[in-house]
Amino acid sequence: MKLSAEEHLQLGRAAIGEIQRLNEVSVPRVCFHFSPPPEVDASELGYGVKATYWPKLERMFADLQIDGWIDGAGGEFGFEVWEEVLPTEEWLQERLTQMLNLGDDLEHELQGWTYEPRGGPVVSAAPEVGVWNAATPEGEAKIQQLIQDAERGHNAEEGE
């Protein structure tokens, strides 16, 4: 389900309200989640820096001048943009526009963002994205399982 800009704003404002109540002191981090293009066989996009959109993504991300980084497995997992920031309403207005434009330019869908402070609880403004905090044993186990599943799928595609 593709969200409108207004729906992203509403979810973001609700998430910021939750974040403010947390009164977190750990390193604040936000992750924007992008899915691959819905009309494309995602396996054709490639993985990691071999993904067909990666060079364009790097150029566009550099132009945004965000103090953050790109993370992405590619293929059916799309990519993520990370930033160390404590979200505010002003930040949301600026960054949401940038991320929606980035997704549109790359023909990837912005699924939303999550607040994932190191060691703290996850707050989601991305309704269709499952996020597990790696700082918990359950989260670490789930993340490792997803990585193993992705590697098995990628190796099967490569014929290994």
Range of the domain at 27: 5-131
CATH for 103: 3.30.70.970
Q: What is the pLDDT of residue 4?
A: 92
Residue 101 falls inside a structural domain: yes
What pLDDT, in 10s, does the model give residues 10-37? 999 999 999 988 876 678 899 999 987 7
Token couple for 27: 């390193």
Residue 155 falls inside a structural domain: no
To the nearest 10°, the Cα dihedral for 97, 102, 107, 112?
-60
Q: What is the mean pLDDT of residues 3-16?
A: 93
Residue 72 falls inside a structural domain: yes
Residue 122 falls inside a structural domain: yes
Phi-psi region for residue 117, left (φ > 0), alpha (ψ -120 to 50) or beta?
beta
Residue 104 falls inside a structural domain: yes
Residue 150 falls inside a structural domain: no
Residue 87 falls inside a structural domain: yes
Of 102-106, 134-138, 142-146, 154-158, give the lowest mean pLDDT range: 134-138
CA–CA dist 98, 103 (Å, integer) = 9
Q: What is the pLDDT of residue 6?
A: 95
Global pTM reads 0.77
Our count of domains for the chain comes to: 1
Residue 56 in contact with residue 1, Cβ under 8 Å? no
pLDDT band at residue 136 using 50, 70 and 90 as cut-offs: low
